[in-house]
Amino acid sequence: MEVLVVDDSKTMRMLVQRAIRQAGFSGLTFIEAENGARALEALSSSKPSLILSDWNMPEMTGIQFLQNVRASGINIPFGFITSEGSKEILDTATAAGANFLITKPFTSDDVQASLSPFVGA
């Protein structure tokens, strides 16, 4: 199973992958992108089973990326891992088609609870 991890910080992309492994998920392959524009390019050549994206990124934000994904008819499960945890952000994400939102800082338990409906352990 492929997971697309989108964040402008390389360190955060690695932390997300580590948290996923610590949450007990195995057998996953990770694709990385540093912003929404690069992630859209990645979707043209890959078909991940799950997308995890930051909210605030240069070039194309996470919400713009999600809107583009859904407008393209792609219904891959999509979640945000972001420091933006307000009710307004959650409502905006949900309305745009996000399946979940994990707020930074997060634990492997947070990741396990959010991803388990979409990823087999």
Say what the pLDDT of residue 73 is: 94
What is the CB neighbour count within 10 angstroms for residue 116?
A: 13
Is position 94 within any domain?
yes
Say what the pLDDT of residue 121 is: 54
What is the CB neighbour count within 10 angstroms for residue 84?
A: 18
Is position 24 within any domain?
yes
Say what the pLDDT of residue 48 is: 97
Q: Categorize the per-residue pLDDT at 85 as very low, low, confident or very high, splitting at 50, 70 and 90.
A: confident
Is position 119 within any domain?
no
Say what the pLDDT of residue 84 is: 86
pLDDT tens by residue, 62-83 = 999 999 999 999 999 999 999 9
pLDDT tens by residue, 9-33 = 999 999 999 999 999 999 999 999 9
Task: Give the count of domains, the chain.
Answer: 1
Q: Are 90 and 101 in contact (CB under 8 A)?
A: yes
**Residue at 7: amino acid letter:** D
Is position 118 within any domain?
no
pTM across the whole model: 0.95
How far, CA to CA in Å, does 102 sit from each of 42, 71, 98?
A: 23, 23, 11
Mean pLDDT of 44-59: 96
CA gap 117, 74 in Å, rounded: 18
Q: What is the CATH number of the domain that holds 95?
A: 3.40.50.2300
Is position 121 within any domain?
no
Cis previous bond, 58, omega within 30:
no
Is position 18 within any domain?
yes
Mean pLDDT of 38-62: 96
Residue 40's closest CA among 10, 8, 12, 6? 6
Asked if residue 114 has pLDDT above 90, the reply is yes
Note down the domain range covering 97. Answer: 2-108
Is position 93 within any domain?
yes
